Amino acid sequence: MTFKTELLIFSPIFIAWMEELLQEVNMNFKWHRRFFGAFLILAIPSLFAAFYACDDFGLDPDFFPGIVKGQLRLSQVPPEKTDELQVYLIKEFPPRNAADLLEASTARILNFSREDSTQLVSFEMSVDQLGEFGALIAVWKRITDAEQAGVVDPFINTIGGHCNEQNEFIKINLTESQPVVEGIIIDVDLEKVNRTSRVSGTINFTGSWPEDLSNLVLVFSSSLNINLCNPPELRLLSTQPTDSLNYDFPISPGAKIAILVWIKAGDAILDFQLLGFAAVNPTEETPALNVDINADFGTPMSF
């Protein structure tokens, strides 16, 4: 059995921040800001393996004592650039450390129709340990990733999760008496990965770039009330200090708020800082062009 797992280097930073998040739920302002940051963890592709290959060399079936079965419920035709759909079973949510992500069980789904707008796609996942699991998450992987105008286009996005009506992840418990969980239905949202429009503009920076800046992220959300089970689109921007940064990349149609945040690196604390925002409303016929954002590193902002 061989496993190939690739994670971007900033994943442990997000995990460290999540540990701090749970300690600050009673601080209203910090909780609101960090709750906004929590969805970045699910949306940023570094948290999920880009590739997860498994070769069977005749291991005993008991090597995988648990099984999770279910279906993804699609309500849109998969975008043309869809490579595959994947499902991840994560032991802890929020993750405690990088090991939780490296040990996540995975199901790759290739048997979906590329023409049907409504379909149920089955998956079956072998799990190498019993116990309680904090989250079951569906993700979308595109055929190729792209780089343009200083922006890295994520090639894998969260498109849904096994959640309740309050948009909270439903835990999965595998035991010796009940090692199989089945009948799970995950509603997936392919609208945000159906990038048939574009957004472009310039980000103008003032103030000194922080030396401890780890990531610069542009988020596109229809609301500040973030649904952790289906987080919005985001783009990672270049962290090379500059007075201005031009961006131009594909995006899904619809009214959104473009929110620019920077992420502070630290051994135990990850601090999200709002830099600026702008309203965008791209359509398939009319892209959102010349959307400029003013970002001031010297003036802290809150929301």
Share above pLDDT 90 across residues of the chain, in percent, rounded to a whole number:
34
Per-residue pLDDT reduced to its tens digit, 184-228? 999 998 888 888 899 999 999 999 999 888 888 898 888 777 677
Per-residue pLDDT reduced to its tens digit, 119-169? 999 999 999 889 999 899 898 888 765 544 444 445 567 888 999 988 889
Domains and CATH numbers, the chain: 3-193 (no CATH), 197-296 (2.60.40)
With a cut of 90, say whether residue 289 has pLDDT above it: yes
pLDDT of residue 56: 42
Angstrom distances, CA of residue 203 to CA of 216, 218, 245, 281, 301: 11, 10, 5, 18, 16
Across 98-122, average pLDDT: 81
Q: Residue 130: beta bridge partners?
A: none
In the structure, what pLDDT confidence band is assigned to residue 22 with cuts at 50, 70 and 90? very low
User: Mean pLDDT of all residues in the chain?
Assistant: 75
Separation of alpha carbons 234 and 263, rounded Å: 14
pLDDT of residue 145: 53
Amino acid identity for residue 113 in this structure = S
Across 108-115, average pLDDT: 85
Amino acid identity for residue 241 in this structure = P
In the structure, what pLDDT confidence band is assigned to residue 249 with cuts at 50, 70 and 90? confident
Whether this prediction's pTM lies above 0.85 is answered by no
User: Which 3 state secondary structure label does DSSP give 255?
Assistant: coil
pLDDT of residue 94: 59
Q: 132 or 15, which is more confident?
A: 132
Element at 28 (helix H, strand E): helix 28-43
